[in-house]
Each structure stands twice: as C-alpha cells, then as structure tokens.
Structure 1
Amino acid sequence: MKLTVVAGVLLACGVAKAAEPLIGRASVVDGDTIDIGKTRVRFSGVDAPESWQRCRDGDGGEYRCGHAAAMALDRFLAASRPTRCELAGRDRDRRIGTCFRADGTDVNRWLVENGHALEWPKYSKGAYADAQRSAQSNGLGIWRGEFQLPCEVRAKRWKREARCD
C-alpha cells in the first residue's frame, strides 16, 4: 500500500516521468549539431566532418565536406518541420539525442545513409552500420572520394591524441 502511494505521488509530481522530447524549428550549427531554441543538440551515434574540413571528391578535387554536410542537413530539415529530438544525455554544453523530421524520418540515420556523417560505433552500438555500408557502396557524400575521420582532423587541429574509438 505504501509503495503504491509513493509511486502515485512521484508520478503526480513528474519525478518518474520520461524526458519530454524537444520539438521546434532546428537551426543547423554543423553537420551533426543543431539548435532548437536555446538548446544545442548533438546527434547521437554519428560524427560529421567539421565545417572547415576538406575532403577529396572522386576526381581528386578538394571541397569543404563539412560545409557540404551542414548545407545538406539544412535542406533536409527544412523540407519537413518541426524537428523532434529524443534526448538521451549531455556532452559539455550540448544535449545528445536522436532527432526526427516531422514526417518521422530519423535524421541521424539519414546523415549516415547519405554519406554526410559516419557512424560512431562507440555511441551507436552498431545502429547505423547498415546505413554506412550502403553509403559507402554507393559512393555517397564523403564516400565519393577520400577523407580523414572527423575525430582525427579535430585531434590534429587541437594538437592532441585522436580518440576515435
């Protein structure tokens, strides 16, 4: 009886309630980060090239692959608003989550599927492995040429050891 009363009080106060999703118009910060209102959200389980990162295309030319990823994400999100994010944690000043367009499309998966981001298995636990294999075999996005892992590029720029595990 006491346990039932305590559980009822907790539910009534919202203590035991699951986190509410964050919903709103997304502003793209970079290929794997958006702002919804004043909340910054980093997409869970993926790693996109940095906005200043350069990659080689299939013809050997260089292009700003991080900028291209951010622009593709912006167009993709604009096609079906608002964006909804299921938040699962925190990283520095950002929330971590899986986000969806208004039509239900998983944004994290779309980024990997189209070669705009890589799966980060340490955090995704393999959830996007099939999407990455598809992008790679079809030569989409960064897979159309040569690139360095975003985590290696960041480490080199900030002169520290790469942590890409």
Structure 2
Amino acid sequence: MLKSRQALNTLFLLRRFLCLVACSLLLSPCSALAWSGVVIGISDGDTITVLQDERRPVKIRLYGIDCPEKRQAWGNRATQGTRRLCYDKVVDVEEAGLDRYGRTVAIIILPDGSSLQERLVEEGLAWVWPRYCKLPICQEWSAGEATAKEAGVGLWQDEEPIPPWEWRVNSRR
C-alpha cells in the first residue's frame, strides 16, 4: 500500500512539473523559435520584414505594442523611428505566434541587445498594447511608456494622444 501511495505521489508531482513546463513555454516566446536575419523592409512602425536564412522574407508584427497608424498623428515618425532603429541590421527574432493576417508576431532584439519594442515605447513612438502584451517583459515596457509620457517624449508631446486601437475604431465611423 505504501509503495503504491509513493508511486501516486511521484506521478502527481511529475504531472504538476510537466504542466508548469508546458505553461511556461506557452506564456513566453520559445527560444527554439528564435532566429536571426536582416531587416529588409519597414511597412509601418510595428510591422517589418526580415530575411530569414538569407532567402525567405518574413513579415513580422511586433509583439505587444501598437504604433500610430500612417494616417494618424505620429504615424510617419513611428515608421521613421523603426527604420532608424533596425533597417538593414541583423536582428534576433523571438517568435510568439501568428496574428489573424498570418504574420509572424515576434519580439525583435536589436544588435545592442535591447528590444525594438522597448526602444519604440521609450522614444514615445508606440503604446504597450494591454490587450495583447501578456508576457512579463510587458511590465518593463509599460514602465518605459510611463517614463516617456511623464517626460513628454514623442507622441506624449500631444495634449491627448489617441491609441491606435481607438483611432482605428473611430476612423471607420
């Protein structure tokens, strides 16, 4: 009886451990899905194209942030900022999934080790998008956003900047 109880306890602990491992893999970008490539295109502030394996262009939607739309205030500057930070540079791509348009959603790590998302938020060229930014790193990005807002950097110079997700809804009316 004692052996079977120990076996059940061991199985229970093993199952809990495996569940924890599975959850952690689901809640963070998997390093097995990380790769490097050269940024060959900038569609807008939060969408870039990276050349994978020196031959396959991959359109990437930046994870967790939302930049102003092109026709929105600060939209062109956000695109220019993204271009300045990463165009024609080798970046690391940490895939987090696919969006509804089939684009790869990823965290982009710049050559200096910072993330493109972090830099755009700190420069006041993007918002952290609470609806989609769920990883622990989002707290750091939110702190950077708060600092940019307090300092009146980038889009925070405007009296009442409108987040792109609200702007898109209002522009459809």
Counterpart in the other structure of 1:46: 65
Q: How does 1:106-145 map to 2 (within 5 A)?
A: 106-125=115-134, 126-127=138-139, 128-145=141-158
**Does residue 1:153 correspond to 2:142, yes or no?**
no
Contact in 2 for aligned 1:22/1:87 (Cα 8 Å): no
Counterpart in the other structure of 1:98: 107
Counterpart in the other structure of 1:85: 93
**TM-fit CA distance, 1:21:** 1.8
Q: Name the CA distance, whole Å, in 1 between partners of 2:120 and 2:111.
A: 16
**TM-fit CA distance, 1:108:** 0.6
The structure in which a higher percent of residues are helix is 2
Percent identity over paired residues: 30
Letter in 2 for 1:103: D
Contact in 2 for aligned 1:26/1:77 (Cα 8 Å): no
**TM-fit CA distance, 1:22:** 4.3
Counterpart in the other structure of 1:23: 37
Counterpart in the other structure of 1:33: 47
**TM-fit CA distance, 1:122:** 2.5
Which blocks of at least 5 consecutive residues in structure 1 are unaligned? 1-16, 55-64, 160-165
Contact in 2 for aligned 1:85/1:97 (Cα 8 Å): yes
**TM-fit CA distance, 1:99:** 0.1
Q: Name the CA distance, whole Å, in 2 between partners of 1:90 and 1:29.
A: 17
Letter in 1 for 2:106: G
The two structures, once aligned, show a CA RMSD in angstroms of 1.8
SS state of the match for residue 25, structure 1?
A: strand
**TM-fit CA distance, 1:103:** 2.0
Contact in 2 for aligned 1:43/1:108 (Cα 8 Å): yes
**TM-fit CA distance, 1:134:** 0.6
Q: Deviations over 1:25-69 (max 9, x none)?
A: 242111111011321111111011001112xxxxxxxxxx10011
Contact in 1 for aligned 2:34/2:93 (Cα 8 Å): no
Letter in 1 for 2:153: L
Moved over 4 A (4+): none
Q: Name the CA distance, whole Å, in 1 between partners of 2:145 and 2:34.
A: 29
Letter in 2 for 1:25: V
**TM-fit CA distance, 1:83:** 1.8
Cα 1:30–1:23 change in 2 (3 A) is same
